Amino acid sequence: MRVGRLSSALLLLALGACEDAAPVRATDLALEVLLPQDPVTTGKAFPLTVVARWDKTLPDVQPPPQLERGFPPLVLKLEGSERSESATHVEVRHRFRAYAFTRTDVTVGPATWAFSGGRTGAQRRADTPRLLVRVRPTLDASDPGPPEVPEELPAEPVAGTPWAVGVAVLVLAVALLLWRRRRSRSSPAEIPHAPPPPGPEAVLARLRATDPASPSLQILELAAILRAEVALRWDVPAAQRTSSETLRTLSQRAVPTAILAPLARVLYAADAVKYGAHRPAAGEGSEALAAAESCVRASASISAGTA
């Protein structure tokens, strides 16, 4: 019985140039990753293909994995799979739409395909090497347009519980009853004025109160504070929209780059933590804090100039 030779390969080449009519090559067991040669863009989809190949003489070959979660912090969405065979080998290709939510190059992998086969139950394994994904940030001072995000990203969590909703409905009903009684007495209804949005110093104090000991939580808290500020100052429900939708709306309203650029850095850093399983280093938390402070100061400066 032929002893299985373990091998793995990484092909860094343009996906469209080699997928059509690619011959099945003679390898006992292999796992490959196909990537574009050019740098990918933060938040923009790019093609990634995982290729599994094995010799037909290998006993008890288990199906190769699709590996949607095999390359963190990349986010992968499966688009399709193809199987081809030659006289001696089988090849399966899983095609993904991939996203990188970081602003710097990332190293991912290795991905593993392992199973036990044959009468001896011998372990068979193929790995991809660690691979470098070069990332080009989308936003810069000259082009603040927001990048796309996957359509199936989970929505922002809705705060509260069913009993809290019931209490809120009850409070609204009582308030409406009191208002009607006042109108029946021919007295003008007293409409309370909404409190003004907090000043920039109060917002900056909240940003600086985030915990630097946990960069992941700090970045998420910074993004939540900025989303609330966007809702108050620009009347955009940022908590219910994706980062891309929020930035696109602000850009359409001619919000200056001095606000958009640092806001985008914080929002996409939070997306990478929340959706891309990114674990930021301590320095990334302080960078996000500096960007958030810059966003608030720029907003305050513009508001003061138009007052």
Q: Residue 276: is its pLDDT beyond 90?
A: no
Choice between 169 and 271, residue whose per-residue pLDDT is larger: 271
* % the chain with pLDDT above 90: 11
Lowest mean pLDDT among 12-21, 44-53, 90-99, 264-273: 12-21
* 3 state SS for the chain: CCCCCECCEEEECCHHHCCCCCCCCCCCEEEEEEECCCCEECCCCEEEEEEEEEECCCCCCCCCCCCCCCCCCCEEEEEEEEEEECCCEEEEEEEEEEECCCCCCEEECCCEEEEEECCCCEEEEEECCCEEECEECCCECCECCCCCCCCCCCCCCCCCCHHHHHHHHHHHHHHHHHHHHHHHCCCCCCCCCCCCCCCHHHHHHHHHCCCCCCHHHHHHHHHHHHHHHHHHHHCCCHHHCCHHHHHHHHHHCCCCHHHHHHHHHHHHHHHHHHHCCCCCCHHHHHHHHHHHHHHHHHHHHHHHHHC
Q: What is the pLDDT of residue 47?
A: 94
**CATH top class, domain 9-136:** mainly beta
Mean pLDDT on 150-176? 60
* Cα(307)–Cα(296) distance, integer angstroms: 16
* Cα(215)–Cα(284) distance, integer angstroms: 7
Predicted confidence (pLDDT) per residue in 207-234, tens digit: 899 888 888 898 999 999 989 988 888 8
Q: Residue 290: is its pLDDT beyond 90?
A: yes
Would you say the pTM of this structure is higher than 0.75? no
Predicted confidence (pLDDT) per residue in 227-275, tens digit: 998 888 888 888 888 988 899 999 898 889 889 899 998 999 888 888 8
Q: Cα 223–228–231 angle (5° rounding)?
A: 125
Q: Residue 201: is its pLDDT beyond 80?
A: yes
Predicted confidence (pLDDT) per residue in 25-74, tens digit: 556 888 889 989 899 988 888 999 999 888 888 877 877 776 777 788 88
Closest among 61, 76, 74 to 30, alpha carbons compared: 61
Mean pLDDT on 153-177? 62
Structure confidence at residue 302 as a pLDDT band (50, 70, 90):
confident
Q: How far is CA 28 from CA 6, 58, 221, in A?
A: 7, 8, 50
Q: Which residues are paired to 78 by β-bridges?
A: 96
Q: What is the pLDDT of residue 138?
A: 64
> Phi and psi (nearest 5°) for 204?
-60, -35
